[in-house]
A and B are shown apart, each in its own frame.
Chain A
Amino acid sequence: MSLMSLDNVRFGYGSFPTLERVSLDVLPGELVAVAGPNGAAKTTLLKLMLGLLKPWEGDVRIASRGKAGKRLVVGYVPQQLAAFNSAFPSTVLEFVRSGRHAGGAWFRRLREEDRAATELALRQVGMWEQRGRRIGVLSGGQKQRICIARALAMEPDLLALDEPTAGMDPESRAGFYALMREETKTRGRAIVMVTHELNEAYPYADRVVVLERLENGGMRCCTTTSCSGHFAPALS
């Protein structure tokens, strides 16, 4: 059962269509990399998937239930999220812990499992030691890490990441891709990741979605390539 599906979706800004005939399914436990040149509507595609934009035509379906019949939890890290207001008065721990209140759980008190999930997420991105610091004083790369940690702390069924490795050095990027791969294979999360470093992401992805420019009037279509079998999982 797919967690999210686009069926023959058409979308544009103003009267100019930017996405044409896009069909895509995202299944639990798979890592989908979305690639394409600048302005190819990769972010638009991600927002359509998440229901943040309404398509002109076609259907976007997002499952209402995730694992064990619980409400579907969606984690999203937008492209500019790490460029947040540096005056925002919040500690790293407060910020990442806020992910535990996703999926309508704003009223319940935090339990031991929430604290454990927060700690695990912060350790996964190497920011546990920084948990008491104000988020505004962190470097750009550290801000990016805590945004990802917050999404991981949600224990999402579907994780959407928009250029999550921007500003990371090659070693950190490799560690990040390995972590994402591990999240899909051991925890069954579906991850959709917009990336510019396709060569680096390719070995870890189950599928690559490439947005291509059409010849007739700058419209774009979507092609999907299966990566399964090309590379052994990097962490196996």
Chain B
Amino acid sequence: MLHYDFMQRAFCAGALLALAASSLGVYLMLRRQALMADMLSHVSLAGIAGGAYLHVNPTVAGFVVAIAGAVAVEYVRRAYRTFSEISVAIIMVGGLSSAVILMSLAGNVNKSFSSYLFGSLVAVNRTELTLMLGVAALAAVFFLVCRRALYQMTFDEETAQTSGVPVRWLSLAFSVVTGMVVAAAMPIVGVLLVSALIILPAALAIRIASGFTAALVLAMLFGLTGVWSGLAASFALSTPPGGTIALILLVFLVVGIAARKLATMLGKRRTSVREASEQPPLNEARYSNPSLSTHESGGS
């Protein structure tokens, strides 16, 4: 399988995108913007159709329009501060309606359209691989450099702002990176399933991780495993890669949640058995001041 050039490119591009998209998904979910990836993929569809109509490279046009959509959603989100999901609905309607009209005008786009909608292994050419490499590198730098500020902003924007985080600019940069990752992921997983690559690994990681860093690492691990196994299954079964990857990620999520529930149930049973055999110690936490009172040491 890996002696084919196109499969090497697909595995390479898939790995890069899995890592970028999964970590992005953790932040998107926690900011309650899970549908943003879906919305931006629909907006980029308008770019692809527009590119075909204007005889511009559809991938590049989709990339540019996705970034423009990300910037637009950030401004609409500020206008509807308390209903941030409305911004997603508004921009999605604009993107999808433009895409439908431009598709009808650009007759030549229909043939290759299914590869944009559902993803295609052969769709990843060298230009797109270079684009993905650039996007993945940029996303990696962004998430590494801004991870602490992103954590604060994701938790609460107002406290982040008073802590000195430039929330407005950081949020805008985050949206632009989201747009770039979504547009770059389209050749592999397709417009319709791009959000699966972003959201499903994050959804599982958030459920089972003990901490924030662990959630990011687990999301990347699930994303990478899902994409590689999905690509391999897609090659073996001759199925569309987007749907195969999404289905495998969904199986990961269901199995992961079930395993988590089972572990919780077993943990509860063990606790109740232990509690039945011994008296639980009283642990009353109170405000204290170590400089004024002697406080017992609580370990390292």
Identify which of A84, A125, A129, A154 contacts B156 (C-beta below 8 A): A84
B298 within 8 A of A: yes
B1 interface hit (Cβ, 8 Å): no
Give bound CA distance, A133 to B104, whole Å.
Answer: 55
Whether B159 pairs with A76 at a CB distance below 8 angstroms is yes
Quick check: is B19 within 8 A (CB to CB) of the other chain? no
Residues from chain A with a CB closer than 8 A to the CB of B214 are 89
Is A76 a contact of B158 with CB atoms below 8 Å?
yes
**Is B206 located at the chain interface by the 8 A CB criterion?**
yes
Residues of A within 8 A of B149 (CB): 101, 106
B206, B286, B287: most-surrounded residue (chain A CB, <10 A)? B287
What string of 1s and 0s marks CB contacts (under 8 Å) between A74-85 and chain B?
A: 111110010011
Give the CA-CA distance A172 to B286 in the complex, in Å: 6
Interface mask (B147-166 → A, CB under 8 Å = 1, otherwise 0): 01101100110110111110
Whether A102 and B291, one on each chain, are in contact in the complex, defined by CB atoms closer than 8 angstroms, is no
Which residue in chain A gives the minimum CB-CB distance to B298?
A128
Q: Which residues of chain A are within 8 angstroms of B210 by Cβ–Cβ distance? A: 89, 91, 132, 134
A-chain residues with CB within 8 Å of residue B152 when the two chains form the complex: 98, 101
Determine the distance from Cα of A145 to Cα of B26 in the docked complex, in whole angstroms.
Answer: 25
Task: Type the 1/0 row for B264-287, where 1 means its CB is closer than 8 Å to any CB of A.
Answer: 000000000000000000010111
Instruction: Tell me if B295 counts as interface (CB < 8 A to partner A).
Output: yes
Count residues on chain B whose CB falls below 8 Å from chain A CBs: 40
Asked, given contacts A90-B211, A98-B151, A182-B291, whether A52 binds B158 with beta carbons under 8 Å apart, the answer is: yes
In the assembled complex, the Cα of A51 lies from the Cα of B213 at a distance in Å of 31
Interface residues of A in 35-89 (CB under 8 A from B): 47, 50-52, 71, 73-78, 81, 84-85, 87-89
Q: How close is A134's CB to chain B, nearest CB, in angstroms? A: 6
Residues of A within 8 A of B137 (CB): none
Q: Number of residues in A with C-beta < 8 Å to the partner?
A: 53
- Chain A interface main SS type: mixed
State in angstroms the CA–CA spacing of A87 and B207 once bound together: 7
Cross-chain contact A78 with B156 (CB below 8 angstroms): yes
- Closest Cβ of chain B to A163, distance in Å, is 15
Q: State in angstroms the CA–CA spacing of A94 and B209 once bound together.
A: 13
The segment from A7-15, A173-181, A211-219, A223-231 found at the interface with B is A173-181
Asked if A88 and B164 sit within 8 Å, CB to CB, the answer is no
B159 and A78 within 8 A (CB): yes
Q: A50 and B285: CB pair below 8 A?
A: no
Q: What residues of A have a CB within 8 angstroms of the CB of B32 in the complex?
A: 85
Near A by CB (< 8 A), chain B positions 110-131 give none
* Nearest CB on A from B214, distance (A): 7
Q: B289 at the A/B interface (Cβ < 8 Å)? A: yes
Q: Using A126-B288, A129-B298, A172-B287 as known contacts, say yes or no to A103 and B163 having CB atoms under 8 A apart.
A: yes
A156 nearest CB across to chain B (Å): 9
Complex interface: chain A residues within 8 A of B161 (CB): 52
Docked-complex contact B211 and A91, CB < 8 angstroms: yes
Across the interface, do B159 and A127 meet the contact criterion of CB distance under 8 Å? Answer: no
In the complex, the answer to whether B156 meets A74 with C-beta atoms within 8 Å is: no
On whether the beta carbons of B292 and A142 are closer than 8 Å, the reply is no
Contact string, A191-220, partner B, CB cutoff 8 A, digits 1/0? Answer: 000000000000000000000000000000
User: Nearest residue in A to B214 (C-beta to C-beta)?
Assistant: A89
A23 within 8 A of B: no
In the complex, whether B146 has a CB less than 8 A from a CB of chain A is: yes
- The smallest beta-carbon distance between B209 and chain A, in angstroms, is 5
CB within 8 Å for A171 and B298 given contacts A89-B205, A106-B148: no
Are B164 and A175 neighbours in the complex by a CB distance under 8 Å?
no
In the assembled complex, the Cα of A99 lies from the Cα of B287 at a distance in Å of 19
A232: CB under 8 A from chain B?
no
Distance, CA A171 to CA B286, complexed state (A): 8
B287 CB contact (under 8 Å) in A71, A101, A124: A124
What residues of chain B lie closer than 8 Å to A104, measured between beta carbons? 164
CB–CB A186/B291 < 8 A: yes
A-B contact pairs, 8 of them (CB 8 A): A81-B156, A87-B207, A90-B151, A98-B152, A101-B148, A120-B290, A124-B290, A129-B283
Beyond A76-B159, A154-B163, 14 additional pairs, beta carbon < 8 A? A71-B164, A75-B162, A85-B30, A90-B211, A91-B211, A95-B155, A102-B164, A103-B164, A124-B288, A125-B287, A125-B288, A129-B298, A132-B210, A182-B292
Residues in B lying within 8 Å of A, measured CB to CB? 26, 30, 32, 145-146, 148-149, 151-152, 155-156, 158-159, 161-165, 205-207, 209-215, 283, 285-292, 295, 298-299
- Top 9 nearest A-B pairs (CB, nearest first) are A175-B287, A126-B285, A102-B163, A89-B215, A106-B148, A76-B162, A91-B211, A128-B298, A101-B148
